[in-house]
């Protein structure tokens, strides 16, 4: 069975872009592949975290996976920080990663601009830690949103380089990016992706937004000129809203366009607000009944198994390098 690996940073706000670009696709993969989903808490530390809330955010992230239907009987769920091999392999890959390669990463350039006061080594080396996450588990496929593809390409470069230097060790992973939903745009600005680091809460629909608040955000979302409900390159704001509508309702974009033919933006937004609130209430109902103690048990079990796989890989890596005698 092919291996799938993916992860999300446990920042406090997870938005529908994270769901539509990533988690939604993970659920469908569980029956076909051997799946591993990590809460990548060490990655979250590349921007400032608060010790008072960090632990809760990590727990909430794992709970979010479960509420969406990641099934611990089928998939492995674990915290990155509980598997020391991730940081160990990162050091080794750091010695073959080139500074010029990391400087080209667009996420680094964006985040360095956003957090000018805290451009730390971790932020710079972030993609190397991500490469370690993926390579430790002989991953074939990495289901992510479009913004992560460059990191997976770097992962392949590092794996190829290591294999060339030390002999065949790592599997080369492929990104798995869906045609629709891989880049959900901000509600306040359709030229930028929906982002949890946006200073404007109107940019995103958070998964834990009160459905009434989310509806207001939809009603206030930026639209394009004209009044027709139609997707297309000249209507980036509406196209984004149509993609969200389609993915959350399961209806085809063409059918939604037909449904709203002759109606205006306000009617369409009202319909979308209903779809979004229904989705949020359904998710939140499931999220709220999952017990913290169950999440802890599931993580402990996942961490035991992840450590076994990762330690085996590290032994191979160390032997190949000649760190053993
Ligand atoms: P993170 O935590 O920023 O985002 C998690 C997932 O959500 C996707 N995503 C989006 N998809 C569509 N539209 C958007 N506006 C949008 N914003 C975010 C991301 O592409 C991602 O799939 N580096 C990763 C976490 C990571 C990882 C890994 C992923 C660490 N190690 C190993 C895969 C494999 C990240 O920052 O995701």
Count: domains in the chain: 2
Q: Is 111 a catalytic residue?
A: yes
* Pair (274, 297) in one structural domain: no
Predicted local confidence at residue 242, as pLDDT: 97
* Pair (101, 39) in one structural domain: yes
For residue 8 and ligand 1, the question of a CB distance below 6 A is answered with yes
Sheet containing strand 174-176, edge to edge, reads 76-79, 34-39, 3-8, 141-143, 174-176
Residue holding tokens 């696709």?
A: 25
* Pair (232, 314) in one structural domain: no
* Pair (29, 173) in one structural domain: yes
Q: Is 193 a catalytic residue?
A: yes
pLDDT band with cut points at 50, 70 and 90 for residue 197: confident
* Pair (150, 209) in one structural domain: no
Separation of CA 21 and ligand 1 centre (Å): 8
The pLDDT tens digits for 299-310 are 999 999 999 999
* Pair (163, 301) in one structural domain: yes
Structural domain includes residue 191: no
What are phi and psi for residue 259, nearest 5 degrees?
A: -55, -35
* Pair (215, 157) in one structural domain: no
CATH (domain of 265): 1.10.240.10
Structural domain includes residue 274: yes
Structural domain includes residue 148: yes
Residue holding tokens 């569980």?
A: 30
* Pair (105, 172) in one structural domain: yes
CATH (domain of 68): 3.40.50.620
Ligand 1: which of 7, 105, 140 to mutate, most ligand atoms within 8 Å of CB?
7
Give exposure, 102-121, as e/b (b: 16+ Cβ within 10 Å): beebeebeebbeeeeeeeee
Considering only CA atoms, which residue is closest to atom 33 of ligand 1? 6
pLDDT band with cut points at 50, 70 and 90 for residue 12: confident
This prediction has a pTM of 0.96
Structural domain includes residue 163: yes
In Å, the largest CA–CA distance within the chain is 76
* Pair (149, 249) in one structural domain: no
The pLDDT tens digits for 118-158 are 999 999 999 999 999 999 999 999 999 999 999 999 999 99
What distance in Å separates the CA atoms of residue 56 and residue 170, rounded to the nearest whole number? 34
Host domain of residue 282: 201-287
């Amino acid at each position: 069975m092919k291996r799938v690996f993916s992860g999300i940073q446990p920042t406090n706000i997870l938005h529908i872009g994270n769901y539509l670009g990533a988690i939604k696709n993970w659920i469908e993969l569980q029956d076909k592949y051997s799946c591993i989903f990590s809460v990548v808490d060490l990655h979250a530390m590349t921007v400032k975290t608060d010790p008072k809330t960090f632990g809760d955010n990590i727990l909430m992230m794992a709970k979010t996976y479960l509420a969406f239907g990641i099934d611990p009987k089928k998939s492995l769920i674990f915290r990155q920080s509980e598997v020391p091999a991730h940081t160990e392999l990162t050091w080794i890959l750091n010695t073959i990663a080139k500074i010029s390669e990391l400087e080209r990463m667009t996420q680094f350039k964006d985040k360095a601009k956003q957090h000018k006061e805290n451009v730390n080594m971790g932020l710079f080396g972030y993609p190397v830690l991500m490469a370690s996450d993926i390579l430790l588990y002989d991953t074939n496929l990495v289901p992510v949103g479009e913004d992560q593809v460059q990191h997976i390409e770097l992962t392949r470069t590092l794996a190829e380089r290591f294999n060339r230097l030390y002999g065949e060790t790592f599997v080369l992973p492929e990104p798995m990016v869906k045609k629709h939903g891989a880049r959900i745009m901000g509600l306040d600005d359709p030229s930028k992706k929906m982002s949890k680091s946006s200073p404007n809460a109107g940019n995103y629909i958070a998964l834990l937004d009160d459905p009434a608040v989310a509806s207001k955000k939809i009603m206030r979302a930026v639209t394009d000129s004209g009044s027709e409900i139609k997707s297309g390159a000249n209507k980036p704001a509406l196209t984004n809203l149509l993609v969200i509508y389609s993915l959350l309702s399961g209806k085809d974009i063409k059918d939604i366009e037909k449904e709203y033919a002759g109606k205006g933006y306000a009617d369409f937004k009202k319909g979308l607000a209903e779809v979004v609130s229904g989705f949020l209430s359904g998710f939140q109902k499931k999220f709220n009944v999952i017990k913290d103690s169950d999440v802890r048990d599931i993580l402990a079990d996942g961490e035991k198994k992840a450590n076994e796989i990762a330690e085996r890989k590290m032994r191979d890596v160390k032997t190949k390098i000649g760190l053993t005698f």
